[in-house]
Structure 1
Amino acid sequence: MMVLTAGILFLTACLPGCGMTRALTPPESSVLAAGSKPVAVMYVRPGCPYCREARRFFADRGLPVMERNVLADRQALAEMLEIHVRSFPDEEPIVPLIVIGGHAMSGFDREEVEAALEMAGPKPVAAGSKQ
């Protein structure tokens, strides 16, 4: 158990793809309106520039996302590691880990995310827009 805990602490301290850890204001995309269903689950680390880019991508499109902070939530870290080992067994875990419609993506690749959104189904319609 102690080895596992030490391993988790080491892993969170050096997740690749991230900038220095620093406090951030809560992202607007992580707060879901009542009754809205997220189009993606995104495992993030504060200070990660790629996480910020992914967050901005979803926010610019008005797509609700459930964010899981792997530094603040041990269960989120365990989930992320489980998904990563299952989906990318030969790769080092990095953030963001984005899951859309059961499809996991390691890191943020705009084209891969757009393709996953297309495969997942129709996009939510913004309030006030015509269908």
Structure 2
Amino acid sequence: MTKKSQIAKQYINNVLQQLLIDYKNTRDERRQIAIWEESQDFSILGEIEIFATDIEGYASQVIANDDLGQYQEMIQKLTKMHIFDIAYFADWYFAEKSQFPQIKLYIEKLNYLRLLVIEYINDAIALQSQQTIHIG
């Protein structure tokens, strides 16, 4: 593993750890959203949980191992993962910009982590391709 890869993994880990703290700080806002959701036909909190679980899981996998075979599938899934493509979620998120600032910041950091993991995987795949070319 290169020094650049080690630094990238450490940075991904730092963002992941900060997200765990940020999530705890959204407790009051999550409670408010849960009350509001009782009268809705959809779940904003459910979408956030799915998004968070997937992204945090992929970030943890990248930190824990260097299996590039696994990376191909991960990058495909991460690239397709756009929470703002869910119409009711986007409507909720952009409806009132000043409402729920902590949870919205949490969502933005999750998306940032998703992009960091994609970048890390792309770099790892490119590095492997370069090494294969030099060896062959």
More strand by share: 1
More helix by share: 2
Higher relative contact order (CA 8 A, sep 6+): 2
- What TM-score do you get using the length of structure 1 for normalisation? 0.30
